[in-house]
Structure 1
Amino acid sequence: MSRPIKFKTILLACLIISVGQLSMGLVFPSLPWIAKDFAVSHEQVQILISIYLLGFGPSQFIYGPVSDALGRKKVLLIGLMIAMMGLLMIIFLSHSFTGMVVGRFLQGLGTGCCAVLARASTRDRFSGAELPVAMSYIAMAASVTPLIAPVIGGFINFHFGWTMVFTSLMGYLCLVWAIIALRFQETIGQTTPLPSPKRVLLQYRELLSSRYFMSFASIGWLNFSLMITTISVMPFIMQNQIGMTSDKYAMWALIPALGMLAGASICNRVRPIIGSKKLLLYTPVLHVAAALWLFFCPLEPLYLMLGQLLMILGNSISLPCVQAMVMQPYKKQAGAAAAMSGGGQMVVSSIVSMMLVNLGLSQAWHLSLIIVVFAAITLSNILRGFATPEALQQTAPTQ
């Protein structure tokens, strides 16, 4: 008989992973007002987002191996303290745009620990059939937070001004820090000396040379790249070809956003019944369906959003599965595996999405061709990943 899953543990992991999402999403609605107060252009104020990601993404490669040695709790508390230092700099230097940029970098540098350690600590506590279930809830939290963050941030900015947005973030981080200090139970049984830089590089080299790891990690990396590319291109299609205003597009965009929630929920309910492999195979099927829909559908908002919904549904079904598969064999190196998975996703998605956007994608049928290519790559990675000895050993009881 399977033991009941520890939902308090999952809830704490969801709280941790929400920090990075809120730290970015709450700020989006305030950017025009910040640009106006500092008399900078819209392009210049975007540095507050890019500099945050510059700290958030690469720092994950450090937090993972360090937490494998020192423990998750200590590294989490230190990382959040760095983020709070950045927020304090923003709050007290709110008259200096340069001070805000430096503060945002520190904030991203600190919150990078949350994305890695939420998943690594989950891997420490769960294994087998429980791990994909736990990961699905974390993926759901990571999907819900970007939906509500701009709404909350816009409300705070409208009623209290943009400085209160950062003050509110400071309060939230203090609350999370206190909860971790009081409620988070260390998941590493025994600490070890910090690994040398050479040892860290060897760990990442080992992961990158693993056919198993790269097969499943690349599914997440490329599907996330596809989602970022579609989200970047679709507003231009809707606004330039249909004449839709940005506020109306924001309302229509809720339709595909719901696909994130639906996909995580489907993964949670269906995966235990049919297994990870069969469920993952629905991802390229949904992507091909989305591609065909976007290629032939009328150029109208509802049809375009339904096509995007199918694509994001496929992505969100696959994400919890591949995250669980990536983490499954690396219990003693969960931090390094989570760092390479999450940090690699940030790096690969930024490069791939930038390359695709620079190709001049401007039509719905352009997107459909890209989606078909990605579906073929995803199918190849699924078949290759499940053919490895590691996957055959782990999935034998459920496939």
Structure 2
Amino acid sequence: MSERRVSLLGALFVAIGPISMALYTPAMTEIVNAFGTTESMVKLTLTLYFAGFAVSQLIAGPLSDALGRRPVTILFMAIYLVASLTALFAPSIGFLIAARFVQGIGASAGQAIARAVVRDLFTMDQSSRVMNLIGIILAVGPAVAPTVGGLMLEVTTWQALFVLMAVLGLTVIAGAVFGLRETVTPDRSRLNFRALGGSYLQLLGNRHFLTTSGVLGGTVGALYAQSTFLPFILMNDVGLSASQFGASMLMQSGSFFAGSLVTRALMKRFSAYRLVPGGMVFIAIGALGISLLLFRAPSFLNVMGPVAFYAFGIALIMPAMLTASLAPFPHIAGAASSMNGFIQMGAGLTVGTIGALIGDPTFAMGLLIPLMGLSAIVSYAIYRHNPHLAEPEPVRNVTIGPQSTGRALRIETNRND
């Protein structure tokens, strides 16, 4: 498959998870009233969606290694479709919580398998270009989703949001059936819990994987954590309506989109890896701005301004760090992609849960999101302090000839050994 086709399909597969989260957030306060329940119970619909999404990636990726990328994508999207229809007719908050959990399970395959497909087909800067293009397309869905959700709530009920999610599920299934070609040779012998456990132990014992994934956990994971704080901060404390909240989220996703375009332009002159330090500067500025919520009352600009800086930094960081985290593991690409996604979602879930226990979403965001930014910066510092961890990074602006090609190959071989 071409870079363009992989980018389009990858964005479609990856986007369904964040869209299902972003589309739903404007309805959270309305669902409190619809079921006569509490904010804490409604937050569980988001928290357990995260849980299903995060944990199931650990299954979806290795399953795709064993059974093939295409059939596993179709299976998990069918689960997502059934869960969306169940949520549509949920008679109680308990049913809705359960449906959202299963929905997260179904959506999890999109992220794990899309990145594994990229690793199957591309490496180095070619992989970074595809990851960047996926990011550009991906930014559009979550950018528009809260606005669409908010506007839909002005003219219809929250149930209509799940009708739209069901349509998205059917679209992904159609994309997998008609557009996705198999990129891995299925090997049922990989359906072995001992081998799977060994793969995950190999990843968790590899400092290169942990540092690169730690960067992504502290940056992308922060976006997931923020989604549990921002609806209540902006609607309850700042006083925005559901449609205004949906429009306000364009500041986050629009900034990520702009950052992705800047990254793509700069990658024509520089390696993706050289853009990461600049991204870290934006992360630091955003984290510092968010920390000021500890000392002043929230307003639209002092909440969303720093969030926009943070999102712009993520766009500069993501292509290189995703490529770097998966590069040494072509033989277990599905498992590596799954663990990478689990770390991102797990970080968001953990911080979101801690924030729910704190109770005050403004205080929780001002305290916890900067700590995530700090963890990303520390992870990157460790990655850079150990040059031998930086494969496949040794980016030098030199002409590649037979000797240097051979050397690069020997380095990669030693790395994998």
Query: Equivalent residue for 2:124?
Result: 128
Q: Report how far residue 74 of structure 1 moved.
A: 0.6
Query: Equivalent residue for 1:331?
Result: 330
In structure 2, what is the Cα distance between the partners aligned to 1:90 and 1:356?
A: 25
CA contact (8 A) 1:237 1:363 kept: no
Q: Report how far residue 311 of structure 1 moved.
A: 2.8
Amino acid at match of 1:245: G
> Which secondary structure state, in structure 2, belongs to the residue aligned with residue 189 of structure 1?
coil
Q: Report how far residue 173 of structure 1 moved.
A: 1.2
Query: Equivalent residue for 1:141?
Result: 137
1:80 is aligned to 2:74: no
CA contact (8 A) 2:54 2:346 kept: yes
> Quick check: 138-147 or 50-59, which moved more?
138-147
**Deviations 1:260-297 (CA, angstroms, capped at 9, x unpaired):** 11222222221342223321111233334446667899
In structure 1, what is the Cα distance between the partners aligned to 2:359 and 2:264?
A: 36
Q: Report how far residue 55 of structure 1 moved.
A: 1.4
**Deviations 1:117-136 (CA, angstroms, capped at 9, x unpaired):** 11111221222321001111
> Which secondary structure state, in structure 2, belongs to the residue aligned with residue 188 of structure 1?
coil
Amino acid at match of 1:77: I
CA contact (8 A) 2:211 2:380 kept: no
In structure 1, what is the Cα distance between the partners aligned to 2:289 and 2:216?
A: 23
CA contact (8 A) 1:327 1:337 kept: yes
Query: Equivalent residue for 2:384?
Result: 383
CA contact (8 A) 2:225 2:349 kept: no
Query: Equivalent residue for 2:318?
Result: 319
CA contact (8 A) 2:329 2:336 kept: yes
CA 1:197 to 1:286, structure 2 compared with 1: closer, same or farther past 3 Å?
same
In structure 1, what is the Cα distance between the partners aligned to 2:226 and 2:101?
A: 27
In structure 1, what is the Cα distance between the partners aligned to 2:229 and 2:190?
A: 43
Query: Equivalent residue for 1:214?
Result: 210
Query: Equivalent residue for 2:402?
Result: none
Q: 1:259-298 to 2 correspondence within 5 Å?
A: 259-290=255-286
CA contact (8 A) 2:226 2:365 kept: no
Query: Equivalent residue for 1:51?
Result: 48
In structure 2, what is the Cα distance between the partners aligned to 1:105 and 1:287?
A: 30
Q: Report how far residue 377 of structure 1 moved.
A: 0.7
CA contact (8 A) 1:292 1:368 kept: no
Query: Equivalent residue for 2:341?
Result: 342
Q: Could you list the runs of 5+ residues in structure 2 that have no partner in the other structure?
A: 400-417
CA contact (8 A) 1:117 1:335 kept: yes
Residue number among 162, 184, 191 corresponding to 1:188 in the alignment: 184
In structure 1, what is the Cα distance between the partners aligned to 2:377 and 2:163?
A: 46
1:89 is aligned to 2:83: no
| Identical columns (%) | 22
Q: Report how far residue 379 of structure 1 moved.
A: 4.1
> Quick check: 98-107 or 15-24, which moved more?
98-107
CA 1:366 to 1:89, structure 2 compared with 1: closer, same or farther past 3 Å?
closer
- Structure 1 length normalisation: TM-score? 0.84
1:30 is aligned to 2:17: no
Amino acid at match of 2:33: K
CA 1:369 to 1:162, structure 2 compared with 1: closer, same or farther past 3 Å?
closer
> Which secondary structure state, in structure 2, belongs to the residue aligned with residue 186 of structure 1?
coil
Amino acid at match of 1:134: V
Q: Report how far residue 79 of structure 1 moved.
A: 0.6
**Deviations 1:152-183 (CA, angstroms, capped at 9, x unpaired):** 22333332322222122212212321231122
> Which secondary structure state, in structure 1, belongs to the residue aligned with residue 182 of structure 2?
coil
In structure 2, what is the Cα distance between the partners aligned to 1:244 and 1:15?
A: 33
CA contact (8 A) 2:148 2:246 kept: no
**Deviations 1:327-375 (CA, angstroms, capped at 9, x unpaired):** 2222221111110000111112332465588598749996897488446
Query: Equivalent residue for 2:238?
Result: 244
Q: 1:228-239 to 2 correspondence within 5 Å?
A: none
Query: Equivalent residue for 2:60?
Result: 63
CA contact (8 A) 1:87 1:107 kept: yes
Amino acid at match of 1:210: N
In structure 1, what is the Cα distance between the partners aligned to 2:307 and 2:27?
A: 27
In structure 1, what is the Cα distance between the partners aligned to 2:372 and 2:336?
A: 27
CA 1:354 to 1:385, structure 2 compared with 1: closer, same or farther past 3 Å?
farther
> Quick check: 229-238 or 219-228, which moved more?
229-238
Amino acid at match of 2:198: L
In structure 1, what is the Cα distance between the partners aligned to 2:277 and 2:77?
A: 38
**Deviations 1:72-110 (CA, angstroms, capped at 9, x unpaired):** 00100111111122223334x433443333322222211
CA 1:265 to 1:82, structure 2 compared with 1: closer, same or farther past 3 Å?
same
CA contact (8 A) 1:224 1:315 kept: yes
CA 1:385 to 1:200, structure 2 compared with 1: closer, same or farther past 3 Å?
farther
Amino acid at match of 2:388: A
CA RMSD of aligned residues (A): 3.5
In structure 2, what is the Cα distance between the partners aligned to 1:61 and 1:259?
A: 30
> Quick check: 383-392 or 58-67, which moved more?
383-392
CA 1:235 to 1:29, structure 2 compared with 1: closer, same or farther past 3 Å?
closer
CA 1:9 to 1:159, structure 2 compared with 1: closer, same or farther past 3 Å?
same
CA contact (8 A) 1:288 1:375 kept: no
CA 1:381 to 1:265, structure 2 compared with 1: closer, same or farther past 3 Å?
farther
CA 1:274 to 1:165, structure 2 compared with 1: closer, same or farther past 3 Å?
same
In structure 1, what is the Cα distance between the partners aligned to 2:32 and 2:229?
A: 24
